[in-house]
Amino acid sequence: NYRARSAFKLLELDQKYNFIKPGSVFIDCGAAPGGWSQVISRKLLDIPTEETNTNLNSNLIIAVDLLPIEPIPGVNVLQGDFTNISTQQKIKELLKGRDADVVVSDMAPNFSGQHFIDHVKSMELCESSLNFAEQVLRSGGTFLCKFLMGESDYEFRNNLKTKFDRVRHEKPQAVHRKSTEGYFMCLGYKK
């Protein structure tokens, strides 16, 4: 009962890396219709009542997309183009000076059908989310982004490697076998 099948990709990655933790500040870029935000919301809000409420209070989830997103418990929704400075400014306002623990991006361009063009656009979205992540992530923070494999993904990966302790190319089982989409899972931001 998730809005998008993509939820299973995030669940799989979290099972492997356990980066969705109560008390975290999460930014979900390209979040519509909201599958990933549902996964994050359920994991952050569903903690036993015996646990301290401080965790509950410190959760902050911000979901951004060009498209509207139906409300999700505990999720702050922003509609806008993530690559616009004004949208990024709105995210920063919601952060109220806090650093983010995790920035995830499942953003994908509208597919043109021409692989090279789609790849280039996808890498631009990756650059944009990384650039923003560098401004808001705490030291040791996590960054996850989707990309369409192609001739310039290694450059982006090399760039990531200079900024994070660990960078892994992941292709969750839930991704169609023939799809050229992959994810960069980046742990330990070196602020």
Q: Residue 34 or residue 141: which is nearer to ligand SAM going by CB?
A: 34
Minimum Å distance from CB 162 to ligand SAM?
Answer: 25
Sequence-ordered strand ranges (E) for the chain: 25-29, 60-65, 75-79, 100-105, 137-148, 164-170, 181-189
What residues make contact with ligand SAM under the rule CB under 6 A? 3-4, 6-7, 30-36, 64-67, 81-83, 106-108, 125
Rounded Cα–Cα distance for residues 134 and 112 (Å): 29
Q: If you search the block for the tokens 């990309």, which residue do you land on? A: 147
Q: Which residues contact 88 (CB under 8 A, 6 or more apart)?
A: 82, 132, 135
- Residue 146 known to be catalytic: yes
Active-site annotation holder among 146, 161, 163, 191: 146
| Nearer residue to ligand SAM within complex by CB, 77 or 186 | 77
Query: Is the backbone peptide bond immediately before 33 cis, with ω within 30 degrees of 0?
Result: yes
Closest to ligand SAM by CB, 25 or 40: 40
Residue 108 C-beta: closest distance to ligand SAM, Å: 4
Q: Smallest distance, Å, CB 172 to ligand SAM?
A: 12
- Of 100, 96, 122, the C-alpha closest to 111 is 122
Q: Kindly list the catalytic residues.
A: 146
